[in-house]
Structure 1
Amino acid sequence: MVKFLLRVIVNGLALWVATLILPGMDVIPSGTVADTGDPTLNAVIAYLVIGLVFGAVNAVVKPIISLLALPLTCLTLGLFTVIINAGMLMLTVWLTSYLPMQLTVDAFWWTAVFAAIIVSVVSMIANGVFGLNRSSSRD
């Protein structure tokens, strides 16, 4: 359970860094479910919920898409994975449009692709720091 919560926090952190760097990507926490009156806490809750949605998309949809796109990924020597990650980010944008808090991305080609690269790098670093990629007997 702790590992799951850490992964949600890492996803939220990676999305937060991407929204800081890219001007075309934003999180709208205006109508959060738990409206606390504190805008900072509302933003943290929004990033955590969107991180949860992003993690669910990556856990359920991404393996299927990656398997179907395997020939193209091999043909491009793995670079198509960035496009798949950008697609998962856009699917998260679409899914969060039905939630009170929303992730917005203005364009697929530049913003979503660069956001996918940023999210991947930040997630890789954070997973290494928290040790989420290590296998242990106490999972």
Structure 2
Amino acid sequence: MRFLAWLLTHAVALAVAAQLFDGIAFDGPDSGMAEIRHKLLPLLGVAIVMGVVNAIVRPVLTFISLPVVILTLGLFLLIINALMLKLTSWLAGGLGIGFHVEGLGTAVGGALVITVVTWAVDRLLEEDRRR
């Protein structure tokens, strides 16, 4: 159950980022039920790829760049998150999932949106579990 909640949380965050930024996109139709049917499985697939990237690559990169993270008071973590989003895009392309992130600026914005949405959904789910 916990994995399903994590997967749906990250899928929602990716969907929000794709809606807000023109440079973050999934291949396929752009509106209606056809869009939902065509993009649902790729959205879940990209969420899984992003989870694997964040579980394996992100800690190593964060550790290696720890002095820069400290010097920037943690702001460099946003760049690391953007790089993880770009890496997710590249891996998704290699796996045949039509997910694209254009440019580092878009990746930074998308990473920020994904972080905020994931945090907000996690808080809502946590609050719901308490009841």
Instruction: Tell me the TM-score normalized by structure 2.
Output: 0.88
Partners of 1:29 and 1:12 in 2: CA distance: 17
Choose which of 87, 108, 112 in structure 2 pairs with 1:113: 108
Instruction: Tell me the TM-score normalized by structure 1.
Output: 0.83
One-letter amino acid matched to 2:92: T
Q: Secondary structure at the match of 1:97?
A: helix
Alignment partner, residue 17 of structure 2: 18
Specify every segment of 5 or more residues in structure 2 that has no aligned partner in the other structure, as ranges. none
Question: CA shift at 1:42, angstroms?
Answer: 2.5
Alignment partner, residue 70 of structure 1: 66
Partners of 1:40 and 1:20 in 2: CA distance: 13
Partners of 1:102 and 1:7 in 2: CA distance: 22
Partners of 2:49 and 2:67 in 1: CA distance: 28
Partners of 1:42 and 1:6 in 2: CA distance: 22
Partners of 1:131 and 1:55 in 2: CA distance: 20
Partners of 1:105 and 1:39 in 2: CA distance: 18
* Identical aligned residues as a percent: 34
Segments of 4+ in structure 1 off by > 3 A? none
Q: Deviations over 1:99-119 (max 9, x none)?
A: 2322111111x1000001000
Report the aligned-residue RMSD. Answer: 1.8
One-letter amino acid matched to 1:23: D
Give the total of aligned pairs.
Answer: 124
Superposition pairs for residues 20-39 of structure 1, below 5 Å?
A: 20-28=19-27, 39=35
Alignment partner, residue 8 of structure 1: 7
Alignment partner, residue 95 of structure 1: 91
